[in-house]
């Protein structure tokens, strides 16, 4: 029994150490933790023991990936601060259970180390997909995200995306503990080859646009820590702060001004009088290309129903709305209450009015600023999901990606840092530059290779003036094949299992 407990503890510590491979720590060598974990799993046949080892490994990993989520309670104007440590403890459990099930499934292809590594990688990616895309629409903590830690390796994301990178990282980590020297050598050579290709690709950048097209932008990071919740004095303070930062030195040389998610503290509706005020924050330059793009709550009247949206709106110098985008992937318990009775419970326990639901956006994802400039708008956690946004035809339309967010909910935790790095990953996967505008940080300009051109510090007021980097000349391989990656993984896994079953007797040598 004491040996079980010992290995349970080791599994927990290995899970925690794996999280060190992720931003902001970015210690990529800790991916080897998965390899050590696989050694523990190979010691046991008992499903119960395997499950608890997997559960503890998963818990150690996900507790550091998700501990920051309940911190939003501090900002939500409800008296539930006591629940933060409880929720931080509970939230990782469903994710950890998945790793426990994975640990059990992994034992059925154990007779050959090479096949075991491949099987483990298939299972890991499939469980990642089910967790992030099927059961909980929130692509967080994918192992492939750790590839961003190595500048010369991260370009693998432009070929196979985050799930493909997860697969390769698992195989590489487990191969280091294989007795098959050829398998180890193959993975090391593959790792080095990908790194070299990444460096060559960066050294031979092929952009669609030349240097003659200069688009000057201003990103406003107001660092509003205290939400207004309808308080008129706080609303006035926020608006005056946005005004001061926007109109600061250099304003006349700017084309586009960006404000973060929900930055404008008042509600916008069709023909709102506020539009005539907001036009003063649109630069009037000589080339005629100028706009204010800002996050706000938008109201729409439909017959007898009034709908409220979390939106991005762009306006020109005349106060005319050029376009708007309503958030399509809402955060449960934050932007809507999936269980309506929960609002009543919150009201009784916390002496709070509960949560007012946003409506789900219905329109497409392109906002046009003028005849030649359009962008892909993403609000907050929408940056973690991409299946609704990509098509080969849309690549030619998009000039850049805009991600507006308000990470003040999560204070000075890993949350804002991990959220920021996902923008880097999307830039690499899509081959499009990213403009990230966050209330409290991190804001920044990221080029089409995922390199940070300019950025801010967390929890500081800031203004970034810069130029939108060029997009790639052609879509990345991932952009072209992204919708086929997961079906291909499922199909290949079925074929893999069939071949293992058919040739099992010939593959029993443990190498």
pLDDT of residue 354: 47
Lowest mean pLDDT among 90-94, 359-363, 426-430: 359-363
- Backbone φ and ψ for 269, nearest 5 degrees, come out as -140, 175
Residue 367 located in a structural domain? yes
β-bridge partners, 140: none
Q: Give mean pLDDT, residues 472-490.
A: 90
User: Is position 392 within any domain?
Assistant: yes
Mean local confidence (pLDDT), 396-407: 90
Say yes or no: 343 and 443 in one domain. yes
The mean predicted confidence, pLDDT, of the chain is: 85
Q: Would you say residue 471 has pLDDT above 70? A: yes
Residues 6+ apart with CB under 8 A from 233: none
| Closest among 402, 397, 462 to 426, alpha carbons compared | 402
Q: What pLDDT was estimated at residue 445?
A: 98
> Does some domain include residue 111?
yes
**What is the rounded CA–CA span in Å between residue 107 and residue 42?**
7
Q: Given this model, what pLDDT does residue 341 score?
A: 46
Confidence at residue 369, expressed as pLDDT on a 0 to 100 scale: 84
Does 276 reside within a domain? Answer: yes
One domain for residues 173 and 279: no
Report the range of poorest mean pLDDT among 252-261, 283-292, 430-439, 453-462. 283-292
pLDDT at 128 over 70: yes
| 418/335 same-domain check | yes
Per-residue model confidence (pLDDT) at position 99: 96
Residues 488 and 443 in one domain: no
Point out the least confidently predicted range of 206-220, 265-279, 365-379. Answer: 206-220
Q: Is residue 145 part of a domain?
A: yes
CATH number of 435's domain: 3.60.110.10
Residue 174 near residue 121 (C-beta atoms within 8 A): yes
Higher-pLDDT residue of 479, 328: 479
Checking if the pLDDT of 79 tops 80, the result is no
| Statement to judge: residues 70 and 34 lie in one domain | yes
Checking phi first, is residue 411 left (phi over 0); if not, alpha (psi -120 to 50) or beta?
Answer: left
Give me the number of domains the chain comprises.
2
For residues 381 and 262, the model is more confident at 262
For residue 375, the 8-state DSSP code is: E
Q: What is the dihedral of CA 97, 98, 104, 105, to 10 degrees?
A: 170
| Whether residue 287 has pLDDT greater than 70 | no
More confident residue, 205 or 124: 124
The residue with greater pLDDT, 343 or 314, is: 314
Give a yes or no: residue 66 inside a domain: yes
Q: Please give the pLDDT value at position 47.
A: 95
Q: Is the residue at 211 inside a domain?
A: no
* pLDDT recorded at residue 381: 81
Does position 398 have pLDDT exceeding 70, yes or no? yes
pLDDT attached to residue 204? 72
Identify the band that residue 206 occupies on the pLDDT scale cut at 50, 70 and 90. low
Residues spanned by the domain of 431: 216-475
For residue 508, the model assigns a pLDDT of: 60
Query: Does one domain contain both 305 and 322?
Result: yes
Residue 210 lies in a domain: no
Model pLDDT, residue 282: 94
Residues 187 and 242 in one domain: no
- Using pLDDT thresholds of 50, 70 and 90, give the confidence band for residue 350: very low
Using a pLDDT cut of 70, give the percent of the chain over it.
86
* Residue indicated by tokens 């939106």: 311
Please calculate the CA angle 67-35-179 and round it to the nearest 5 degrees. 180
* The predicted structure's pLDDT at residue 351: 46
Residue 228 or residue 500, greater confidence: 500
Mean pLDDT of 27-55: 94
SS3 435: strand
Instruction: Say whether pLDDT at 353 is over 50.
Output: no
pLDDT given for residue 223 in this prediction: 95
* 200 and 119 within one domain: yes
Beta bridge partners of 315: 292, 321
Domain co-membership, 330 together with 360: yes
Is 141:127 a contact under the CB 8 Å cutoff?
no
Q: Do residues 150 and 172 both lie within one domain?
A: yes
pLDDT over 70 (residue 356)? no
**pLDDT score, position 371:** 64
Model confidence at 231: pLDDT above 70: yes
Residue 313 has pLDDT above 90, yes or no: yes
pLDDT band at 329 (very low <50, low <70, confident <90, very high): confident
Share of residues in the chain with pLDDT > 90 (%):
50
Q: Both 390 and 422 in a single domain? A: yes
Which one-letter DSSP state was computed for residue 29? G
Q: Which residues pair with 323 in a beta bridge?
A: 314
pLDDT band at 1, cuts 50/70/90? Answer: low
| pLDDT given for residue 417 in this prediction | 93
Same domain, 138 and 175: yes
Say what the pTM is: 0.89
pLDDT tens digit sequence for 413-458: 888 999 999 999 999 999 999 999 999 979 999 999 999 999 999 9
243 has pLDDT over 60 = yes
Of the listed ranges 40-49, 184-193, 245-254, 359-368, the least confidently predicted one is 359-368
pLDDT higher than 90, residue 405: yes
CB-based contact 161:107 (threshold 8 Å): no
pLDDT in tens, 165-196: 999 999 999 999 988 889 999 999 988 888 88
């Amino acid at each position: 029994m004491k040996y079980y407990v010992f290995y349970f503890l080791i599994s927990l510590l290995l899970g925690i150490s794996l999280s060190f491979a992720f931003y902001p720590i970015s210690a990529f060598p800790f991916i080897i933790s998965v390899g050590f974990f696989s050694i523990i799993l190979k010691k046991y046949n008992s499903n119960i023991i395997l499950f608890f080892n997997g559960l503890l490994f998963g818990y150690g990993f996900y507790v550091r990936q998700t501990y920051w989520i309940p911190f939003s309670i501090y900002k939500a104007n409800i008296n539930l601060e006591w629940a933060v440590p409880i929720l931080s403890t509970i939230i990782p459990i469903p994710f950890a259970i998945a790793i426990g099930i994975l640990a059990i499934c992994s034992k059925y292809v154990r007779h050959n180390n090479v096949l075991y590594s491949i099987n483990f990688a298939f299972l890991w990616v499939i469980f990642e997909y089910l967790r992030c895309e099927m059961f909980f629409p929130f692509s967080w903590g994918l192992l492939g995200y750790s590839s961003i830690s190595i500048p010369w390796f991260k370009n693998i994301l432009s070929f196979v995306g985050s799930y493909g990178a997860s697969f390769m990282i698992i195989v590489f980590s487990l191969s280091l503990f294989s007795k098959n020297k050829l398998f180890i050598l193959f993975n090391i050579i593959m790792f080095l080859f990908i790194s070299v290709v990444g460096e060559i690709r960066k050294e031979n950048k092929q952009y669609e646009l030349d240097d003659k097209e200069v688009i000057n932008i201003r990103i406003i990071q107001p660092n509003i820590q205290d939400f207004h919740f309808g308080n008129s004095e706080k609303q006035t303070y926020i608006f005056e702060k946005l005004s001061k930062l926007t109109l600061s030195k250099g304003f006349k040389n700017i084309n586009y001004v960006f404000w973060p998610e929900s930055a404008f503290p008042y509600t916008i509706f069709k023909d709102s009088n506020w539009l005539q005020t907001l036009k003063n924050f649109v630069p009037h330059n000589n080339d005629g290309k100028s706009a204010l793009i800002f996050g706000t709550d938008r109201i729409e009247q439909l017959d007898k129903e009034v709908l409220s949206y979390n939106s991005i709106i762009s306006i020109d110098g005349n106060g005319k709305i050029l376009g708007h985008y309503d958030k399509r992937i809402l955060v449960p318990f934050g932007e809507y209450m999936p269980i309506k009775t929960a609002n009543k419970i919150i009201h009784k326990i916390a002496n709070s009015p509960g949560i007012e639901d946003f409506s789900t956006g219905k329109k497409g994802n392109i906002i046009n600023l003028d005849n030649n400039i359009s962008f892909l708008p993403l609000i907050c956690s929408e940056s973690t999901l991409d299946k609704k946004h990509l098509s080969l035809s849309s690549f030619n339309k998009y000039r850049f990606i805009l991600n507006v967010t308000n990470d003040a909910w999560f204070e000075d935790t890993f949350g804002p840092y991990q959220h920021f790095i996902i923008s880097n990953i999307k830039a690499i996967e899509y081959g499009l530059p990213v403009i990230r505008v966050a209330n409290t940080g991190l804001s920044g300009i990221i080029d089409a290779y995922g390199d940070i051109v300019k950025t801010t510090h967390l929890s500081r007021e800031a203004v970034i003036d810069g130029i939108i980097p060029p997009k790639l000349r052609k879509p990345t391989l991932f952009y072209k094949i992204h919708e086929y990656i997961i079906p291909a993984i499922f199909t290949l896994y079925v074929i893999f299992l069939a071949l293992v079953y058919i040739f099992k007797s010939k593959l029993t040598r443990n190498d």
